[in-house]
Structure 1
């Protein structure tokens, strides 16, 4: 079985009792799923939910909108489990979310990643895969992403210190965190390569390289789906090129939207580096790239996942929402196992070809 395609959510059928996992986010698109289901006949199949609130508390995270949205689906307080995701200390969420999944009768979960942090996405998917749930990922694209091109240019030009690169969307790094479930199965005696995705906050890559002291950085640029957003790719590259003065950088590229391409690119990185290096992955890219990061991590338990937690978020992050998408995993665990078997077969075939070439050369 191939990894499932991304489809318009309007084409996704919900045909069994379902539990919804949603978060109180500060982006408008965190509310998209409730408007979506207000127009659907299968909304009644959502019979339980977990509502996630972020800590440290941020008044912009719209808790009331989440409560109102769940109520609009007819989900009672008794059928809703509230829990906290502490960005500074995410370990406790693993056990809380695991306990919630053990308590529900539904075998199908809708995970709304639209308003989720990347760290929350990868932790949630890791636990859902371990529990072998049927999972539908719901994703609402923002209508407008900040910074706009004119905002970006203006801030660069108005920077008081020409030698100091400004940060956008987020600012500062609180700490680099991980969880027990995202830890590596291997020790730390090997040299390290850090794999990360550059963003408008160049401080993330700088923090990863300065705190972890890797021998190599693999920086995977994101290529936006929409032509109008293509300028962002080169601008992000420009903001992050300063890291090259501190460490050797291997630049790669993948789609911000096509999560399957992200898995493919990460597997190429694994092929190139895993024999000599311990790989540490920081899923700092887009939300759908983070879905790909989860699948890659689950395929390769020797991968360590870390995340640079930022101190501040911009007042303007994104606006509204446009298209809504779904990825349906009938069995998340089976999909990953099958994909890993295909990957291992590909590696085996490649090694066989290399052996054949070596045998041919030896016989000459």
Structure 2
């Protein structure tokens, strides 16, 4: 099965019925797609926006509503989202999305300001949408922390206040992301490195896995290549503790790595894990990933419903410096989304090394120099 590439966002024309789904955010990139479409009047016929009840910073509500109005929607519908009580949001989304996309030719979902839980749940509840799905993601110009600041303070990483997120609040489990298959069997836990090691550590405290497999993140930009080693260093104690299952190359970097932007590499890594361990161990994935890696995680769940996903929520965010500006607006376009979701599931869902080798070639994208 071929997964569509990540490409530059298209400038849309007002010839199709479109529904916009997004969230109010405090970063400039939360306005990325709507600003990119400036001058394209009447390209949207409706909009629904998630409104955080306890925002981590001052959300750009007025700016986003102004942008949406210029694109054709003067009165977007809102879904309140209480991040302190996230367990209720799945049922709310399911009810609101049930008839939301009826009559729409395309759904534009901008994940730039969404939490990873919202990304997973929104995509899941859109699985029956028969039209074209346009998934939009805006990259920032700069991200916290800077290399200089990280190198200066990395020895006291637990006390650093400038990391993108800090600490741990709760673990969220939802019905659509859960699986009861192979309960009682040894657990293989797959987690993504980030700048918040506490997210994984607390997951370990509740799951107690047989093995822990890290997927390191590789930024697509050369000037941020240092972050691949940095996020590994932050998790070094856990990597050492589970060293048998986390091999490194001759440079000391984890060999299990996926782009933080190209979601297809995440699919490849999870498929490798599933092919090796899925027949005899329970696979639990921690959504500690980047936003685009989370998109890949969603598709893996749809391919293998027995994969179980849990979302550890951070305690706080570094509001003033998570990212600055908008460097690029990216897009994934999937026509006939419901049919795409139906056909991606592995019919013979019995994983094996041989079975993985037969299907792996369709997942690995052409990787350019990063």
User: Do both proteins adopt the same fold according to a TM-score greater than 0.5, normalized to the shorter chain?
Assistant: yes
- Structure 1 residues 352 and 38, CA gap change in structure 2 (3 angstroms): closer
In structure 1, how many angstroms separate the alpha carbons of the residues matched to 2:273 and 2:356?
17
- Other-structure match for 1:27: 27
1:90 aligns with 2:86: yes
- Other-structure match for 1:297: 301
Aligned residues of 2:17 and 2:44 also touching (Cα < 8 A): yes
Structure 2 gap segments, 5+ residues each: 247-253, 359-370
| Larger helix percent | 1
In structure 1, how many angstroms separate the alpha carbons of the residues matched to 2:283 and 2:53?
29
- Other-structure match for 1:4: 4
Report SS of the residue matched to 2:314: strand
Match of 1:241 among 233, 236, 239: 236
Aligned residues of 1:107 and 1:134 also touching (Cα < 8 A): yes
Structure 1 gap segments, 5+ residues each: 354-364
Deviations 1:88-129 (A, max 9, x none): 333432232233333333142100011111111111111111
Deviations 1:53-92 (A, max 9, x none): 1233434232222322222223132xx2200223333343
Aligned residues of 1:26 and 1:62 also touching (Cα < 8 A): yes
- Other-structure match for 1:272: 276
Match of 1:335 among 321, 340, 350: 340
- With 54-63 and 22-31 compared, the bigger mean Cα shift is at 54-63
Shift of 1:201: 0.9
Larger C-alpha radius of gyration, 1 or 2?
1
In structure 2, how many angstroms separate the alpha carbons of the residues matched to 1:57 and 1:33?
21
- Structure 1 residues 12 and 304, CA gap change in structure 2 (3 angstroms): farther
Deviations 1:158-217 (A, max 9, x none): x3xx9x575721111001112121111425211211111010111112111122111111
In structure 2, how many angstroms separate the alpha carbons of the residues matched to 1:189 and 1:155?
42
In the TM superposition, what are the counterparts of 1:97-176 in structure 2 within 5 Å? 97-104=93-100, 105-156=103-154, 159=156, 166=160, 168-176=163-171
In structure 1, how many angstroms separate the alpha carbons of the residues matched to 2:313 and 2:303?
25
Shift of 1:235: 0.8
Aligned residues of 1:177 and 1:309 also touching (Cα < 8 A): yes
In structure 1, how many angstroms separate the alpha carbons of the residues matched to 2:242 and 2:121?
29
Report SS of the residue matched to 2:228: helix
Aligned residues of 1:173 and 1:207 also touching (Cα < 8 A): yes
Aligned residues: 345
- With 322-331 and 230-239 compared, the bigger mean Cα shift is at 322-331
- Structure 1 residues 89 and 178, CA gap change in structure 2 (3 angstroms): farther
In structure 1, how many angstroms separate the alpha carbons of the residues matched to 2:7 and 2:50?
26
TM-score, normalised with respect to structure 2: 0.85
In structure 1, how many angstroms separate the alpha carbons of the residues matched to 2:311 and 2:333?
26
- Other-structure match for 1:180: 175
Match of 2:49 among 48, 51, 76: 51
- With 11-20 and 248-257 compared, the bigger mean Cα shift is at 11-20
Aligned residues of 1:196 and 1:284 also touching (Cα < 8 A): yes
In structure 2, how many angstroms separate the alpha carbons of the residues matched to 1:76 and 1:181?
33
Aligned residues of 2:303 and 2:346 also touching (Cα < 8 A): no
TM-score, normalised with respect to structure 1: 0.86
Aligned residues of 2:187 and 2:282 also touching (Cα < 8 A): yes
Shift of 1:151: 1.4
Shift of 1:349: 6.7
